[in-house]
Amino acid sequence: MFDHKVALLCAFLVCIAPVSSRADDAPSNTEKTRIGGYLEFAYMDDRGIGWSGSETTFFARMKLDIQHQLYDDVLVRLSGTYQPTVNEYSRAYAQMKAREGNPNDTYMQFDALAGYPTTLRMGVVKVPYGQFDTMSLSSRNRPMTSSRTREWDYGVRLDGSAWLVDYAMAVINGEGSEGTDSNSAKSIAARIQFPTANRGDIYPETLEVTAYPNPLTANPDGDFRWQFGASAYNGNKFSTPIKQKSSHYGADVKLDYSIFSLKTQYSFLEGGFTDPSVVSESASALAALQYSSAVTTKIDTYPRGYSVFTELTTGLSSKTMFSLMWELYDPDSESNAAPGQKTKQRYVIGFKHDFRPHVTAALFYTITDNPAFGVVDNITESDYWKGNTITMAGIAVQF
């Protein structure tokens, strides 16, 4: 029944979207195509990666963003990142390897469906869950919840405003952008924000350090402003032969005052693990299922955990920002017997200075308290929390 409804919804949206597009709505040639990009060069010193006590490296990240306004209400966007990874001969290859190319925000967009203030995106879309705009040079400086909800995925997303609320909801594959779906199950994600910002997209593009909003310039009058959000993500995961639940429910609040901006987010996390050590079933039972052909076998007992993080950003001047981030992550609040089940903490100090318009220098220092790191036979878990202290410095140009 669920899959049938999803199919009907997608078919309906595909059919009505082109109806709002008319040839006489085409914008002028000077506004039709916008091309932008981002280049970042960084240095990382990771005290713990590769089991050698230290690993340092230079790396670059590139992004291309092309937007073509086909009609006033039809946009085509192609955006993605490329970051070379270490080669297989590196001492820390198993811990440092990463996917080189990632599609981000690559979609067809249809605005004002049936005359309503809505936006429909079809392609690779941001998963509407929680706070997205976190200043960082790398996922190592960001909350664990960000990667847990996969950030981008293939699917359909609808944004809009109603009364005093901004909303976003999506039907996605649920497997992230690492590849297309391998099963018929789909995930549902939804988010609301109050009060409304009336900007049409509740996830501004601020992952790049050059674009992160400075509280001093974003709120020049120093007014007190607040915003509350609630998010839900419900789906199944088939990363192993075991069908696992992967659900998250959260609430967040953002406060702005004077030169400060504070955001706090709490998430209840259920399921979504591939590490047998964090599943509330005996290891022998899991091993028997993992090596069997019962690919649809469902385990009814899931680990339930939580994540809470808070970030304070201060605008020291119109060009300089300082941020502090703290996260507490418990992957299984019902047990801490195995290393992977133990509570982890992360502290991040960030500094950003715009010494030219769209040219930014950034520095991050990360301290990770992870009881599982360095434990024998626990390398997979450590890949998510690499090292005990990490220093990252970079320079970025946005054009």
Domain definitions of the chain by residue range: 2-398
pLDDT of residue 387: 52
Compute the radius of gyration of the chain from its Cα atoms.
22
Q: What pLDDT, on a 0 to 100 scale, did the predictor assign at position 297?
A: 41
pLDDT confidence of residue 394: 95
Q: What is the mean pLDDT of residues 119-135?
A: 87
Distance CA 240, CA 234 (A): 18
Lowest-pLDDT choice from 49-63, 110-124, 325-339 = 49-63
Interval 52-75 mean pLDDT: 85
pLDDT of residue 94: 60
d(CA 54, CA 44): 10
Instruction: State residue 198's pLDDT score.
Output: 57
The neighbour count for residue 351, using CB atoms within 10 Å, is: 17
> Tokens 């964090």 — which residue?
278
- Going by pLDDT thresholds of 50, 70 and 90, the confidence category of residue 48 is low
Q: What pLDDT sits at residue 354? A: 94
Question: Is the distance from CB of 122 to CB of 134 less than 8 angstroms?
Answer: no
Residue 149: its pLDDT value, please?
A: 65
- The mean-pLDDT minimum among 28-42, 236-250, 280-294, 335-349 falls in 280-294
Beta strands in the chain (DSSP E): 33-47, 55-71, 74-82, 101-103, 106-111, 118-126, 152-162, 165-172, 187-194, 225-234, 236-237, 244-257, 260-271, 304-315, 320-330, 344-356, 359-369, 389-398
The pLDDT assigned to 76 comes to 96
Closest CA to 157 of 179, 137, 184, 186: 186
What does the DSSP assignment read for 284-325? HHHHHHHTSS-TT-B-S---EEEEEEEEEEEESSSSEEEEEE
Span of 87-96, 123-132, 170-179, 373-382 with lowest mean pLDDT: 373-382
pTM value is 0.78
CATH hierarchy code of domain 2-398: 2.40.160.10
Report pLDDT for 254.
93
